[in-house]
Amino acid sequence: MDSLPQLDRDSTAPIWFQIMRAIESRIADGTWSTGDRLPSENDLCGHFGASRTSVREALSRLESAGIVSRRQGKGAFVERIQGPSAWTLPSAPSLLGEYSEDGQSALSSQILRAGIEALPPWAAAVVGRDSPDGLGFVLERVRAVGSRTAVHVINYLPTRFAGVLPDLREPRASLYAAINRVTGVRIARMHRTIEAVAADRALAGLLDVEQGHPIVVVEAVAYDQTGAPIDFSRASVRTDRLRVSVDTGFEAAGISNESASGRYPGAVRSEPARPSSRATTRVVR
């Protein structure tokens, strides 16, 4: 119990959330191993000076994420120790990273919103140039590795791709596989920008982290086989659950590294610069 931190009473994070993160961090650093019994609810209440409701909510969240299991009359136990899964940004167009060979994504998705709406100016400049009214198809999802939420992603596409939505109702459906199947459009290459940011309040709630927690944002423009940009996406990633890596191979499917590098077409976002560590990788997927 002494290894568990105390609550930050000045924090805006809910008590249950702080308890959940405290327990999760001690499992991650090896203080508790697979099969170990966690302190009892009474002990956790006493240590944190928290209500049983807050402790039970924290344990319920950990159980839902597959990190602990609770056994009637015996308590809560560490279910498994699992490091981050890998999200490789590969080079070959046939390995879209987004989906596997069976057309299914390695991640499960929950759709938060989807429909035709006004594109932000910076997205409209990339994928909405053929839409005089500035509308596009917007898809917002949270994505999980197993039961652990790891990614929040928003895609901005031309309105003609709204017809793929019924194909995305299955949790492991792939957006790019659906686009290829429904419209015949194939993603030929990608341009990605990787940026480190601090989670704001809204993003922290979606990814189950505290506000200010460091996350990685991967912005990408997808190009079809004619070289036209058809998707602008922004994925915010918990790298403690999904580690981002880059496959630097090239010459895949006859596309050279030079021709695949690409740049954002037209105008890009004109937002105030944010303090961050930024790296750009040009790859084909």
Q: What is the DSSP string of the chain?
A: -TTSPPP-TT-SS-HHHHHHHHHHHHHHTTSS-TTPBPPPHHHHHHHHT--HHHHHHHHHHHHHTTSEEEETTTEEEE------EEEEE-S-TT--SSS-TTSB-SSEEEEEEEEEEEPPHHHHHHH-TT-TT-EEEEEEEEEEETTEEEEEEEEEE-GGGGGGGGGG-STTB-HHHHHHHHH---EEEEEEEEEEEE--HHHHHHHT--TT-EEEEEEEEEEETTS-EEEEEEEEE-TTTEEEEE-----BTTB-HHHH-----S----PPP----EEEEEE--
- Residues 252-284 pLDDT 10s: 443 433 343 333 344 344 343 333 333 333 332
Judge whether residue 101 has pLDDT over 60.
no
Judge whether residue 187 has pLDDT over 60.
yes
Judge whether residue 118 has pLDDT over 90.
yes
Judge whether residue 152 has pLDDT over 90.
yes
Instruction: State percent of the chain over pLDDT 70.
Output: 75
Instruction: State percent of the chain over pLDDT 90.
Output: 29
Query: Tokens 């498994």 belong to which residue?
Result: 80
Counting every residue written for the chain, the total comes to: 285
Sheet holding 278-283, edge to edge: 108-118, 135-145, 148-157, 229-237, 214-224, 187-198, 278-283
Q: Give the closest residue to 32 by CA, choosing from 4, 65, 7, 66.
A: 4
More confident residue, 163 or 133: 163
Instruction: Quickly state the pLDDT bin for 236 (edges 50, 70, 90).
Output: very high
Judge whether residue 211 has pLDDT over 90.
no
